[in-house]
């Protein structure tokens, strides 16, 4: 039986989940892995006397974990970037292993950290063992594409907007009341959290550097129940996806609202669930789905990493071949089909103007919806689904469309999921 002494930084929802899971399933973990996990120190800024620390010592300075010679593995669960990174670097310099759920630190600083004794399964998609799958279960495969719902807050909000017809502001307030969204929801609803996670998946799946600044990011603030309804008429659901695709020209790395066909399993992943679909040469198309957040779900991934640290103490989670790094393509070079909602005056000849501009940019139309006058403003929505078009061409067309006197507001543009 291997004995592993751990120190936990933080005492929030995930840290409490780790403590509870170790206490409840200690015998099961030992039976399955041959590893005995002992919590010897917990450090957090605030004392929480109601939490069972499993007999561990407690302090209010997380740096005490570095000074405690008993600690073999530091479990970083404080979040944020500055202090968390300082703790991680300090631990690695001392030869201690680190397990973290901190996607921001890994996405932004992974190039300097990832070749060391650092594991971060819990940083992406909660309980879903997607990093284990990429690194071990699918190790014999060449990956061509990966896409996923990797932010539970956005998925909950879009599911509720679809089911209830409520607008963004109303459903955000509810998500905050339920604890699904933070008081400052920027990281979630503007796509930054998902982009952090996609950066990690890109580095692991395609042996690239961690290049967060090259991921294209859009959030969900502009989406309306009207768009969700129109998408349904066309046979789609709107999901906030992270998308990776490789080609001879490089990697597509983008996070944005996406039309997903009703026929795809991804379209039916609702609420706070996450899902990641991987396309590879031998295994084909595989879909991983499960809880993407929450104390118990994320704790499951954290404890799995702790045990793996004991079983494979010298093996880093990622060992990238920098000579094989691929270029990340700018969004302007990427081709996609598009959903366009164009608010126009209710006048003859408007549709002809719209189609003429699209045609002049070699943009072909796949489907059209044209409704009666909008009850709030007397305008008419022209909804168009295009065939695949390069983003740069679409941008030029949208500029011309929005300059028309008959177009009464910004054009809503949503990309369609690629068919991999």
Helix (H) or strand (E) holding 66: helix 64-67
DSSP string of 163-219, one letter each residue = HH---HHHHHHHHHHHTSS-SS-HHHHTSHHHHHHHHHHHHHHH-----GGGSEE--
In DSSP terms, 338 is beta-bridged to 415
59 close to 43: Cβ distance less than 8 angstroms: yes
d(CA 408, CA 186): 29
Catalytic residue among 85, 103, 197, 239: 197
267 close to 237: Cβ distance less than 8 angstroms: yes
d(CA 328, CA 214): 7
Give CA angle at 243 (401, 303), nearest 5°.
Answer: 145
Give CA angle at 132 (66, 265), nearest 5°.
Answer: 130
Q: How many CB atoms lie within 10 A of CB 49?
A: 6
d(CA 311, CA 28): 16
**SS3 label, residue 323:** helix
258 close to 228: Cβ distance less than 8 angstroms: no
Q: How many CB atoms lie within 10 A of CB 169?
A: 8
User: Which residues neighbour 193 within 8 Å (Cβ) at sequence distance 6 or greater?
Assistant: 103, 151, 153, 187
- Catalytic residue at 197? yes
Exposed, middle or buried by CB within 10 Å (0-12, 13-18, 19+), for 45? Answer: exposed
**SS3 label, residue 300:** helix
d(CA 386, CA 363): 7
Q: How many CB atoms lie within 10 A of CB 79?
A: 17
118 close to 97: Cβ distance less than 8 angstroms: yes
Which residues are tagged catalytic? 197
């Amino acid at each position: 039986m291997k004995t592993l002494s751990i120190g936990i930084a933080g005492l929030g929802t995930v840290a409490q989940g780790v403590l509870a899971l170790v206490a409840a399933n200690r015998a099961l973990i030992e039976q399955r892995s041959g590893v005995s996990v002992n919590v010897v120190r917990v450090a957090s800024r605030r004392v929480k006397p109601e939490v069972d620390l499993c007999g561990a010592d407690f302090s209010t300075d997380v740096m005490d974990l570095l000074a405690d010679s008993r600690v073999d593995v530091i479990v970083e669960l404080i979040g944020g970037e500055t202090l968390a990174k300082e703790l991680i670097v300090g631990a690695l310099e001392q030869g201690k292993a680190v397990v973290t759920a901190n996607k921001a630190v890994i996405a932004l600083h992974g190039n300097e950290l990832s070749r060391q004794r650092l594991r971060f399964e819990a940083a992406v998609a909660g309980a879903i063992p997607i990093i284990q799958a990429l690194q071990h279960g699918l190790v014999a495969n060449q990956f061509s594409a990966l896409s996923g719902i990797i932010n539970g807050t956005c998925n909950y909000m879009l599911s509720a907007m679809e089911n209830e017809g409520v607008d963004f502001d109303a459903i955000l307030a509810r998500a905050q009341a339920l604890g699904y969204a933070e008081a400052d929801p920027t990281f979630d609803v503007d796509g930054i959290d998902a982009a952090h996670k996609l950066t990690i998946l890109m580095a692991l799946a395609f042996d690239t550097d961690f290049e967060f600044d090259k991921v294209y990011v859009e959030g969900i603030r502009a989406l309306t129940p009207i768009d969700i309804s129109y998408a349904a008429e066309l046979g789609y659901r709107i999901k906030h996806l992270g998308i990776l695709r490789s080609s001879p020209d490089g990697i597509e790395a983008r996070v944005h609202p996406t039309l997903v066909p009703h026929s795809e399993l991804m379209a039916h992943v609702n609420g706070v669930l996450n899902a990641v679909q991987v396309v590879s040469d031998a295994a084909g198309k595989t879909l991983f789905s499960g809880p993407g957040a929450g104390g118990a779900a994320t704790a499951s991934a954290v404890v799995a990493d702790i045990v793996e640290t004991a079983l494979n103490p010298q093996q880093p989670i990622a060992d990238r071949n920098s000579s094989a790094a691929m270029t990340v393509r700018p969004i302007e070079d990427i081709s996609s089909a598009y959903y366009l909602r164009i608010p126009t005056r209710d006048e003859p000849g408007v549709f002809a103007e719209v189609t003429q501009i699209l045609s002049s940019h070699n943009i072909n139309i796949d489907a059209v919806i044209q409704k009666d006058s909008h009850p709030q403003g007397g305008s008419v929505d022209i909804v168009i689904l295009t065939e695949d078009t390069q983003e740069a061409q679409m941008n030029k067309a949208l500029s011309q469309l929005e300059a028309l006197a008959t177009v009464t507001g910004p054009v809503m543009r949503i990309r369609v999921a690629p068919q991999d």
